[in-house]
Amino acid sequence: MKYILAILFFGAMVGIYIFLYLMNKKTPLPEGCEDLKVDCSGCHDFGCTNHPAHHLKKEELQ
Amino acid sequence: MIAELATLLVTCVLINNVILNQFLGMCPFMGVSKKTSSAVGMGIAVVFVIVVASIVTYGLYYLVLVPLGLEFMDLITFILVIASLVQLTEMFIKKTSPSLYKSLGVYLPLITTNCVVLNVCLANISNGFDFIHMLVYSVGTPLGFALVLYIFSTIRERLELSEVPSAFKGNSIALIVAAIMALAFSGFAGLV
């Protein structure tokens, strides 16, 4: 019973997160905030979406 | 009681500083400390998210997880609560205050991966704090984070204008500065 409760609770939490994520994505950005970027020079973590390499165009990467 | 809370606050901000003493939150510490304005924005966003996340996770743990016997779910629950809260906060700021979103919005997604937030939520439980102590700890820790981030950004702005040997330019000199700051902050250890 305890493990069923745990699975249900986890499912509910994931459901809440997905709902809020989709709601946030649907909410339009305020005027003038369309192209905000973090002023980050970048460490060596290329997985981070704020790494400057993600904002370079294909030609600049080559 | 008040003296005890004041001691806890000073300890969180200066002595057990989350960056210089516990080495948590190093990514924003190095990444968002090049400009003072960015550091202040990040600091405010972290204070806000940690206080809200702590209150929610503390309530959830003692009102839901403990009565249901699901204490072992604390880590996964807190991660999901933090991620959800960041989404909710971002959405709320987008709708209510465009100016605030302009200054803070870009830092909010970064906070989801900031380990300081999860550390504070877990420490509130493992230390067995009551609500008042939890609140003081949850305000003090991000204040310490914001203070160190701000001081570090002012130093890095001055470093940009200094003549640094080429081998030390960039993150190298920044890490040396961080080490000196950690040494300086260790002097606060005798304060309490």
Express each pLDDT in B9-55 by its tens digit: 998 889 888 999 888 888 788 877 888 887 888 888 889 889 999 99
pLDDT in tens, B174-185: 899 999 999 999
Q: Is B9:B140 a contact under the CB 8 Å cutoff?
A: yes
* Chain segment B107-166, per-residue pLDDT in tens: 777 777 778 899 999 999 999 999 999 999 999 999 999 999 999 999 998 988 888 888
Residue range(s) defining the domain that contains residue B154: 17-190
Query: Using 50, 70 and 90 to split pLDDT, how confident is the model at A37?
Result: low
Give me A29's structure tokens.
């950005």
Residue B42 has a pLDDT of 81
Mean pLDDT of B56-77: 92
B78 part of a folded domain = yes
Contact between chains at B27 and A27 (C-beta distance less than 8 A): no
User: For testing the chain B interface, which of A1, A38, A43 should be mutated: the one with the most B CBs within 10 Å?
Assistant: A38
List chain B residues with CB under 8 Å of A40.
31-32, 34
Q: Give the residue from A27, A31, A37, A55 with the most B CB atoms within 10 Å of its CB, the best one to mutate.
A: A27
Q: Does B83 sit within 8 Å of A17, measured CB to CB?
A: yes
- Of all residues in chain B, the one with the smallest CA distance to A6 is B70
* Closest-CA residue of chain B to A23: B91
d(CA B23, CA A42): 19
Range of the domain at A39: 2-61
Question: Looking at the 3D structure of chain A, how many domains does it have?
Answer: 1
pLDDT at A62 exceeding the cut of 90: no
pLDDT for the residue numbered B41? 81
CB B140 within 8 A of CB B50: no
A38 CA: distance to closest CA in chain B (Å): 6
Q: Which residues in B lie closer than 8 A to residue A7 (C-beta atoms)?
A: none
* Chain B residues near any Cβ of chain A (below 8 Å): 27, 30-32, 34-35, 38, 64, 68-70, 72-73, 76-77, 80-81, 83-84, 87-88, 90-91, 94-95, 98, 101-102, 105-107, 109-110, 113, 170-171
B154 close to B174: Cβ distance less than 8 angstroms? no
* Spatial contact of B108 and A36, defined as CB atoms under 8 Å apart: no
CA distance B57 to B62: 9
- pLDDT of A50 strictly over 70: no
Supply the pLDDT for residue B126: 93
Q: Is residue B150 part of a domain?
A: yes
Q: Residues of chain A with pLDDT > 70: what percent? A: 55
Residue with tokens 């991620």: B83
A48 pLDDT tier (thresholds 50, 70, 90): low
Size of interface A-B (CB pairs under 8 A): 89
Per the listing, tokens 């057990």 go with B16
Q: Note whether residue B179 is domain-resident.
A: yes
Report residue A30: phi and psi, to 5°. Answer: -65, 160
Q: pLDDT value at position B139?
A: 94
Query: What is the total count of domains within chain B?
Result: 1
Residue B184 inside a domain? The answer is yes
User: Residue B134 corresponds to which amino acid?
Assistant: M
Residue pair A32/B100 in contact (Cβ under 8 Å)? The answer is: no
Domain-embedded: residue B8: no
